[in-house]
Amino acid sequence: MTTVAAPRVRPAADTRTGRPKRGGGWNRGAVVALFMAPAAILLGAIVVYPTIGTIARSLYDDSGNFIGAGNYKTLFGTANILVALRNNAIWVIVFPFMVTFIGLVFAVLIERIRWSTAFKTIVFMPMAISLFATGVIWRIVYDTDPNRGVINAAVGTVADALHPPGLYALPNIKPISGLTTAADGSMVSKSTTDAGGTLQLGLTGISPTSLPPGAQAARPPSAVAGAVSGVVWRDFSPGGHIGVIDPGEKGLPGVRLTLVGSDGHTAATTTSTGDGSFRFSSVSGGGYHAAIDASNFRPAFGGVSWLGDQSLTPVSGLGSTGRALLAVPLADLSAIVAMMWVWSGFAMVIIGAGLAALNREVLEAARMDGASELQTFRHVTFPLLRPVLIVVFITMIINVLKIFDIILSLVPESSQQQTNVIALDMWRRAFQSFQPGLGSALAVVLFVLVIPVIAINVRRIRG
């Protein structure tokens, strides 16, 4: 006799997911709740409760009186919040694009160089440094003094090579009564001379320690036929006389001089010797002035105030308020560069991982079809990398919306008003000015700005 097995009954399927329903009922739910309870309690304590408390506190003034939207009206009625919103907008527009682009360039580069491991290590290393410490480091890098600031030292090297500083770029240097200062900064003799004549050009305000090492004692010039001779010297000595070469007074070597004719044109040029004497040879006629070139007093490169209160104003005709809101502070751009130094390594690693996961057969097929490297990257690599680039881009947007510590440590206090951001203004109002209502309102504003970015990111992950 044959025994027929009873058919196996499959559990009913879940209409939402299409998967078989699991049993367990209350027992399974209790186990799930038991395991999730610690995380839920912790999440509620550090996220939910502070969020609700902050929103509630933003509706009260500093004394605890309910004022509704009064704090929000105060915030948006002042220029500080508008400046902070402007700066946050600058960060959101500039920083994510630049970091994503640099990360992409680095990721492509490390696939083509032998020492890629060392390169990745160097680029990623700043990620180990806190943003506050990054601000301290870059504050020295941006130092205005070229002897300390790396950037100004590099710029100064090029600037001084193109426009060498003068030997006598001294703050207190002045001409004596026989000289006058021209509009271009040169010093011109008041008196004129003819061929065979002499001129004495004395300067004051020069410290003995500022004299070049080769400076020798000055002596009155001797007349030479067919030439204009003279001397330029440091006209100062204790008990001496102005306009007279006294014993012990030294000449000024290396001074560039020009002989200017009566028609205002340059007749000859020369440079003074160790004792300050000079001579313009092959000169005829008369009515000549001697001019000490302005290049002798050209100061050395003094440095750019990268963290100062200068602004790049691309528009005009909008009034002081409009220009203030649309101007781009130079310190903001400097801080963005410092932030890029930190996050470029992160972008490089994420995008590099995306590149490593690409199907190489697709790339090889594009090359075999005759596509150039640029065409392959534009039409194949970039579209395949788009999801990874979006991840990096959105992550950077979230980071810059809450930027705070690098501004606080990098930008001097005198310039922080122009580089103010929402998170920094929130901290100042809540913990420095002791205005918890306004600080909470700023926190809510920042939270509202972050929500759309988070929603886009969640939707992208689910999609």
Q: What is the largest CA-CA distance in the chain?
A: 147
Give this prediction's pTM.
0.76
User: What pLDDT, on the 0 to 100 scale, is given for residue 110?
Assistant: 86
Helical H runs in 125-243? 131-141, 150-162
Alpha carbon 75 to its chain centroid, in Å, reads: 28
For 100-120, the three-class secondary structure string (H helix, E strand, C coil) is HHHHHHHHHHHCCCCCHHHHH
Residue 219 amino acid letter: R
Q: How far apart are CA 167 and CA 251, in angstroms?
A: 13
* HEC string for 218-284: CCCCCCCCCCEEEEEEECCCCCCCCCCCCCCCEECCCCEEEEECCCCCEEEEEECCCCCEEEECCCC
- Pairwise CA distance, residues 428 & 407, whole Å: 13
Count helices and strands in the chain by DSSP H and E runs? 15, 11
Cβ atoms of 201 and 189 within 8 Å: the answer is: yes
**Structure tokens that stand for 206 in this block:** 């020069």
Domains in the chain with CATH codes: 70-153+313-462 (1.10.3720.10), 174-297 (2.60.40)
Q: Which residues of the chain have pLDDT under 70?
A: 1-26, 177, 312-327, 463
The label of the residue with tokens 């130092």 reads 143
Q: What integer pLDDT is reported at residue 313 of this predicted model?
A: 58
pLDDT at 183: 86
Compute the residue count for the chain.
463
pLDDT in tens, 198-228: 999 989 888 888 888 889 999 999 888 889 9
- Distance CA(54)–CA(133), nearest Å, equals 29
Task: Let me know if 303 is exposed, middle or buried by CB neighbors in 10 A (0-12, 13-18, 19+).
Answer: buried
Dist. CA 196–CA 73, nearest whole Å = 82
- Residue 88's SS3 state is helix
- Burial string for 208-244 (b: 16+ CB within 10 Å, else e) reads eeebeeebeebeebeebeebbbbbbbbbbeeeeeeee
- Give CA–CA dist 293/269, Å, rounded: 10
CA-CA distance, 305 to 255, in Å (whole number)? 31
Instruction: Read off the pLDDT of residues 74-117 as tens digits, 9 standing for 90 and up.
Output: 888 888 888 888 899 999 999 999 999 999 999 988 888 888 88
Per the listing, tokens 């699991």 go with 22
